[in-house]
Structure 1
Amino acid sequence: MTSRKRCYNGLKNAKQHMILFFILFGVLCGFLLGSLLHGNVQSSIDPTPKEYAMYVSFLGEIWVRALRLLVLPLIVSSLLLAVAELESKQSGKLGRRTLLYYLMTTMLAAILGSILVICIKPGNVNVKKNEPNEKNVEPIHSVLDLIRNMFPDNLIQAAFSSVKTKYKTVKSPCCFNETSVGSNSSAEEMFNLFSSKVVSPWLTEGKNAIEIKINVKYEFDGIEKTSGTNMLGLVVFSVLFGYILGGLGENGKLMIDFFKILFDVIMNLVTMVIWLSPVGICSMVAGAMVNAVDITGVFKSLALYIGTCVTGLVIHAFIFYPILYFIFTRKNPLKFFSGMITPMVTAFGTSSSAATLPVTISSMEKNNKISTKISRFVLPLGATLNMDGSALYEAVTAMYVAQLNNYELTFGRILLICIVATFVSTGAAGTPAGGLVYIIIVLEACGLPTEDIGPTLAVEWFLDRVRTAVNVMGDCYCAGVMAHCFRNELDGERPEDETQFVIENEGTIETTTTF
């Protein structure tokens, strides 16, 4: 490596650490400011606490709006390029099996995160004054809405609207009871009686009255369009478009170059917005703190959220991966694990799968005796596409925000979160604090509010390192599985110089292997 390249990489690492330092400083300032203002805000009459909190979080709102502005071109260009370049470069049986394995483990991670949120309920702490946001709906309707949105009838319209099953409210009396109201009835009891039932107008003290209980149900009333980006439809279109584009070979090179330029432009804009994140996160954290009913509830909810994420990542890394490795290879996963400790520690320190890649390849080839033809194909592909930890984190965060706002987590919504988290994490680019962008993409796709992610961003820097270590661990186990599956083909492998492997500046990863 030349001295110029060393200098460039050193400056790049320094910038990443500087961003992290500023973000942590912004988080600390946000918690401090929110704690100092909380008492005054909650006791304020004019402006109201909600309006006061809006003023405090205004800069954070502008920051989130800037990120949301970049969501659409970012997700379309990144997914399209990921699939197009995969199709053109990583063909063959090994590529298909590796891709299938990565998609399976990523979906498992998202499902695991969803199950843990349902069990632990980190967002059910009394943090906000919210009423239930949605009606009970049929699970089959949620699934059908999911499928409808996967195939939008108008691509332009999908950028700002999606479809949803419409319901109408039907009320009917279900039973009649005689109710007696005495002189000792409290005002609260009287209010509950009148608000929950239809009561005869001649109800007076000491008299019996007829109460009519009302049964409320929701009936199907057609399909309606709702505001909000249909991200799922755009994701499906981008994947299919990229697949076809990659198969065109030289004929599609011009369009691939166009999307590469678009992606580079958007990533530069993202970097600019990320540099503003300390101010935005400070404002959002402070706004969330002053708007909280109970400030201790914020910390309790955040602790449960961190515990849910870390628990999911530990289960996925130390239970799911070893079980899958044993099922496919019938070998001891603990012995294999001992050979990947160095890359895991490096991933935790650098928070980058791509930066850890040379260490990962070296460890797999030297410690676990993985063939170069496997390691130099599977591991670079994993550094680009395998983001199990990110999928779990995004699913947990989306469902956590839904619980904070009392959104009903129907089967269709949970399935949508898992699917979107899987695809979004697969197309994610390795940028400093990149999780800030992609969690907003998942929230947008699932119709969830983005203004409540302030506290979660306060701990994103730590969770980012943990999930990166899990991602690298998944790459290593996949290399072990593929080495076992292709052991017969590798018995007569060609000379090592037929495998080409290049890594430049953390971002460009190219590999060519033929089976």
Structure 2
Amino acid sequence: MKLALHWQILIALALAVVMGSLSGTEGSIGSVTWLAIYTFIGTLFLNALKMIVVPLVMAAIITGIGTLGSQGGFGRMGLKTLSYYVATSFIAIMIGLVLVNWIEPGVSDQGAPVLEQNSQVAAAVAGKSTGDVVEVFLRMIPTNIVDAAAEGQMLGIIFFSLLFGYFMTKINTPYKESLANLWQGIFDVMMLMTEWVMKFAPLGVFGLVAASVAKTGFDQFGNLALFFLTVTLALGVHFLIVMPLLLKYVGKVQNPWLHYQAMAPALLTAFSTSSSSSTLPITIRSLEERAGVSNRVSSFVLPLGATVNMDGTALYECVAAIFIAQLFGVQLDFATQLLIVFIALTTSIGVAGIPSASLVAISIILVAVGLPAEAIGLLLVVDRFLDMMRTTVNVFSDSVGAIIIAKSEGETSVLVSKHF
């Protein structure tokens, strides 16, 4: 019987902690240090992740926007749904941004950087500094999209992909169909490549975590615990405060807590599987049979939400990027944090449907602002548990959106009486 990927990763984490602590930086096998071996394995995995980022993000955004437009998704219900998704993801990101800057989980007790190479990292971030808010918008439009892709300028790539996907729906057939088929084919290939790369995730995790433990020991694990608490608190605020407020004041639901009861089967499934897509059938059934939402609304809002609406994922990406900057003692100015917010918002849409999407999305943000992608290895120590929680938030946000859209469409049987 083959072990599930998350169990393989947990075993790799345990082995990495043991091996890294035993070998340290001086341990060697022959003339090669164990640290060099760990670094080699981790770097291969990170290079593979970086290799798929640009084509995956471009294909995901272009096909997503193109499909929405070809299905008439820019109609009334489509605009309501997209507006809700963008708004709630932005709120989630801002909650994470405020809490990570307030709690500062990556700052040591002495105020010194937790990890080494802080001067090099600071220089790299300064080299990619956005300067000011105006510069953020200027970088949104690249002078050369090929150069932007080569340099990993994700802001310009995302903007170009959004425009391309939208205007692809405006041309005549058969060219529109040919382009749609081309990009859908690229997206399918990139999904397969991503799944293949993720099969090596346990090896990559082992290399990244073992190298980190060998170099710094267990010094950073206290910061990781605080990072875990920060993300958990932020997800809790969004799940238990923002969502019921939206139900009550936007959806006009008298008792928002009924919706938690209605969605209990879907929430438990999301928590255990860490997959919005796998939970989708149960989410639809819970909404229709237990919350009273029509199939007309649920069949449109929920499949779209399972692909593009990832509040928990977007929140996590933002907190993780700033946490890593704090670990290296790098001060991110307002414009750079604004850039992180924008990329977190768009990448949570672009790559949300793939396994362990947070790895790819976080690497995009780190590269975009000049932070070392190797620090992802630290996050993997607590990622599995946070993945379960953020997936639950993702699914619940989708269901709240369906309730709000159904109420706005005049449906009167939504959460009127308990069907559970």
Asked if Structure 1 and Structure 2 have the same fold, meaning a TM-score greater than 0.5 normalized by the shorter chain, the answer is yes
Pick one of 273, 277, 284 that aligns with 2:208: 284
Retained in 1: the 8 A contact 2:95–2:315? yes
Measured in 2, the distance between the counterparts of 1:265 and 1:441 equals: 19
After superposition, the C-alpha distances for 1:148-170 in whole angstroms (9 at most, x for unaligned) are 11011111111234xxxxxxxxx
Alignment equivalent of 2:153, drawn from 226, 230, 236? 230
| Corresponding position of 1:262 | 186
> After the TM superposition, which of the residue ranges 152-161 and 302-311 deviates more from structure 2?
152-161
Instruction: Please say which structure displays the higher CA radius of gyration.
Output: 1
Separation of aligned partners in 2, 1:148 and 1:85: 28
Q: Quick one: percent identity of the two aligned structures?
A: 35
Compared with structure 1, are the counterparts of its residues 249 and 376 closer, same or farther at alpha carbon in structure 2 (3 Å cutoff)?
farther
CA distance in 1, matches of 2:243, 2:205: 34
Superposed CA offset, 1:286-323 (max 9, x none)? 1111111xx33221011111111111111111111111
Is structure 2 residue 373 aligned with structure 1 residue 445? Answer: no
More displaced stretch, 234-243 vs 109-118: 109-118
Structure 1: distance between partners of 2:47 and 2:84:
36
Matched-pair contact (CA < 8 Å) for 1:84–1:247: no
State the AA in 2 paired with 1:232.
Answer: L
Aligned partners of 2:343, 2:264: CA distance in 1, in Å? 31
Identify the structure with the greater helix proportion: 2
* Aligned equivalents of 2:178, 2:385: Cα separation in 1: 40
* Counterpart-to-counterpart distance in 2, 1:397 and 1:141: 22
Which of 77, 81, 84 pairs up with 1:98?
A: 81
Contact kept, 8 Å, 2:69 with 2:166, in 1: the verdict is yes
Moved more, 462-471 or 424-433: 424-433
Higher relative CO (Cα under 8 Å, sequence separation at least 6) belongs to 2
1:88–1:249 Cα contact (<8 Å) kept: no
1:459 deviates by 2.2
Output the CA distance in 1 between the equivalents of 2:26 and 2:370: 33
Q: Tell me which residue corresponds to 1:321.
A: 243
Q: Which moved more, 1:325-334 or 1:308-317?
A: 325-334
Q: CA RMSD in A?
A: 2.3
- Given that residues 310 and 352 in structure 2 are in contact (C-alpha distance below 8 angstroms), is that contact kept between their aligned partners in structure 1? no
Between Structure 1 and Structure 2, how many residues are aligned?
Answer: 399
Aligned pair 1:408/2:345, yes or no?
Answer: no
Q: Distance in 2 between matches of 1:136 and 1:69?
A: 24
For residues 148 and 154 of structure 1, the distance between their equivalents in structure 2, rounded to whole angstroms, comes to: 13
Give 5+ residue unaligned stretches, structure 2: 413-420
Alpha-carbon distance in 2 for matches of 1:444, 1:63: 15
1:141 matches 2:120: no
Question: Residues 449-460 of structure 1 correspond to what in structure 2 (within 5 A)?
Answer: 449-460=372-383
Distance 1:140 1:237 in 2: 19
Label 1:53 to 1:116 Cα distance change in 2 as closer, same or farther (>3 A).
farther
Kindly state the Cα deviation for residue 444 of structure 1 after the two structures are TM-superposed: 1.8
- Alpha-carbon deviations, 1:88-124, whole Å to 9, x = none? 1123101101101001111111121111111111111
* Structure 2 counterpart SS, 1:122: coil
Q: Distance in 1 between matches of 2:118 and 2:161?
A: 37
TM-score by length of 1: 0.73
Q: TM-score, normalised by structure 2?
A: 0.89
Residue 131 of structure 1 and its aligned partner are, at CA, apart by 4.2
Query: Is the 8 Å Cα contact of residues 25 and 35 (structure 2) preserved in structure 1?
Result: no
Q: Which has the higher strand share?
A: 1
5+ residue gaps in structure 1? 1-13, 162-228, 492-515
Residue 261 of structure 1: how far off its partner (Å): 1.1
Which residue in the other structure is 2:57 paired with? Answer: 75
- Note the 1:419-434 alignment, pairs <5 A: 419-434=342-357
CA distance in 2, matches of 1:275, 1:140: 35
